[in-house]
């Protein structure tokens, strides 16, 4: 069963796997599809882990509308 807190889940995964990239799939910020768990998740992941992070933002139809490689 997966960890409810995304930061903890990612940390647990990184403890077992030495990743060089984290990829997140999120809804567009501020959209009606975004849920509370996604709010500022990319910022939190980037501040907790020293691993490059790419975020794909999807619309309600499942299309990529933005990519963020910060």
40 backbone φψ class: left, alpha, beta (φ>0; ψ -120 to 50): left
58's enclosing H/E stretch is strand 53-58
The single residue listed with the structure tokens 């501020």 is 30
Length of the chain: 70
pLDDT tens by residue, 21-62: 999 999 988 888 878 788 889 999 999 999 999 999 999 899
**In 3-state terms, what secondary structure has residue 66?**
strand
Q: Can you give the pTM of this predicted structure?
A: 0.83
Q: What is the rounded CA–CA span in Å between residue 45 and residue 51? A: 9
């Amino acid at each position: 069963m997966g960890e409810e807190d995304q930061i903890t889940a990612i940390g647990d995964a990184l403890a077992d796997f030495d990743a060089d990239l984290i990829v997140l799939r999120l809804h567009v910020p501020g959209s009606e599809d975004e849920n509370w768990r996604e709010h500022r998740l990319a910022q939190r992941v980037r501040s907790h882990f020293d691993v490059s992070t790419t975020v794909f933002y999807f619309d309600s139809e499942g299309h990529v509308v933005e990519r963020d490689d910060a």
